[in-house]
Structures are given as C-alpha cells and as structure tokens.
Amino acid sequence: MAGHSKWKNIQRRKNAQDAKRGKIFMKHAKDIYLAAKQGGGDPDMNPSLRLAVDKAKSDNMPNDNIERAIKKATGNLDGANYEELTYEGYGPDGIAVMVEVLTDNKNRTASDVRHAFSKNGGNLGENGCVAFMFNRRGYLVIEQSSTDADEDTIMLEALEAGAEEVETVDGAYEIYTDPDDFQTVKTAMEENGFTFAQTEVTMIPETLSTVDQSSAEKMVKLVGMLEDMEDVQEVYHNLDADEEIMNQL
C-alpha cells in the first residue's frame, strides 16, 4: 500500500475544503438516483443506495432533496434519465486519470471531458487503458482524536468485522475493505461505538506517478476543470507531487 495513504490524505483534505454546496448536492442527487434506479428505492434493502444517502447526509443535504432523487429513480416523479459512464485517459506526462460521470447527454459530456484533457496537456484514451492501474476498495477513516481506542484495538475490531487492511497515518486510522464487505465493516464498527470521518468505495492507484512542477500544475488545472463539470461525479488519478502542489488539489 506504499503511497496510497499519502494519496488518500490528499483526498481527505480536498473533501474537507470543498465548499461548492449546490454542486455537491447535485452530485449526491445523481448518485442517489443511480443507486435507486439499479437496486430499488429502499436503503435498507439496497446497500449502494444506503451508502449514497449516508454520504449525502454527511454533507448536510436536505432530506427533501434525497427523497426527490429516489422518487425520480423509482418512477414516482418525472425527471431526466441518467447514464453512468467512465472515461479513461492520461494527464500531462502520462498521469493516469479516471473520470466517473452521470449524464443525461453523453455527447455533451464526452466533448467537455475531452476538452479539459486537451487543454491541460492530456488526452482521452480507450476503455481499459488505465483502469488496470487502480483497485476499487472500501475506505474508512477514524480520526485518532475521535476515539480512546489504541491502534491494536482498532485493527482487531476492523479485521474481525471483515476489513482487509488497517494503516495508521497522520493522526488517523485508515481501513481498507473489499467493496462487497464495505457496508458490513462500516455497520459493525459503528455498532461498536466508532465514528468515521470519511467513508467511501473508491479507486486507489497501485502506483503513483512523479512529474515535474509544470506538469503537476497542469494536472491541478485538469482536475479542477473536471470537478467543476456538473456531470462529473469522481476524478481519480495517480499523481505524486510535493506538498504545496498536493495542497492545491
């Protein structure tokens, strides 16, 4: 897992600094819509929907917005039909990039994503060109300041609940799971009194790519352009750069 914790620390800081409230709610609404469309509108029977709703509530999304997205997906409210797509490509100096989108107009979205890549020294690739460089894993974070439990206790609790790996990094316990076991581990540890600072099923790079200052700055701009797009849900990459550049991300 060398390098992964550094990458996730960057993601954690980025999430904490993201103040674009309306855009965040729109992204959550699309996540909820897709999960309900695929697995039904009952969070108790649909783990993907439960995760999407929990993430929305963690960002203080109003219950009315959550219920409206579920009703759209289950046919109880008129609305757009969204399609889930993943674009893969290369940022400057060959940095691996994956972009997950939910869109009701894939031609528009493809054009916008392609423009962001080309404007910042990158290019879109074929499906599968970088996916093999990432692993989908459940990821949960417990801040050390939020618990009296020590490292050994956290590790035993997490592994007993079904986690694959636990790391201690920069004042936090980072727990990794198989995606299928994510909700089981989360529920078991919450029932044992643990509170999470972050929970998600995400794509984690196998290795990180180190580039020069110029390429790193272009990558910052590329990620920013992509994340500003309404259709973009997540951007994953394997950039490794110095602390100043990473803080910009």
> Does 213 share its domain with 199?
no
Residue 170: predicted pLDDT = 81
How many residues are recorded in the chain? 249
Residue 128: predicted pLDDT = 94
Using the predicted structure, report yes or no on whether residue 134 has a pLDDT greater than 70: yes
Q: What is the CATH number of the domain that holds 153?
A: 3.30.70.980
Enter the pTM of the model. Answer: 0.76
> Does 52 share its domain with 9?
yes
Residue 121 lies in a domain: yes
Torsion-angle region of 248 (φ positive above 0: left; ψ -120 to 50: alpha; else: beta) = alpha
Residue 159 lies in a domain: yes
Residue 55 lies in a domain: yes
The overall average pLDDT reported for the chain is: 86
Residue 79 lies in a domain: no
Using the predicted structure, report yes or no on whether residue 211 has a pLDDT greater than 80: yes
Contact residues for 135 (Cβ-Cβ < 8 A; gap 6+): 203, 204, 206
Residue with tokens 């490794």: 240
Using the predicted structure, report yes or no on whether residue 246 has a pLDDT greater than 70: no
77: confidence class by pLDDT, cuts 50, 70, 90: low
1: confidence class by pLDDT, cuts 50, 70, 90: very low
The string over 54-82, giving b where at least 16 C-beta atoms fall within 10 Å of a residue's C-beta and e elsewhere, is: ebbeeeebeeeebebbbbbbeeeeeeeeb
Using the predicted structure, report yes or no on whether residue 176 has a pLDDT greater than 90: yes
Question: How far is it between the farthest Cα atoms of the chain?
Answer: 52
Provide the number of structural domains found in the chain: 3
Backbone angles phi, psi at 200, to 5 degrees: -170, 160
Residue 212: predicted pLDDT = 86
Q: List the domain range (segments joined by +) for residue 25.
A: 4-73
What average pLDDT does this structure show over 81-95? Answer: 91
Residue 247 lies in a domain: no
Residue 247: predicted pLDDT = 65
Backbone angles phi, psi at 18, to 5 degrees: -75, 115
> Does 128 share its domain with 218?
yes
**Token code pair at residue 81:** 């039909």
Using the predicted structure, report yes or no on whether residue 7 has a pLDDT greater than 70: no
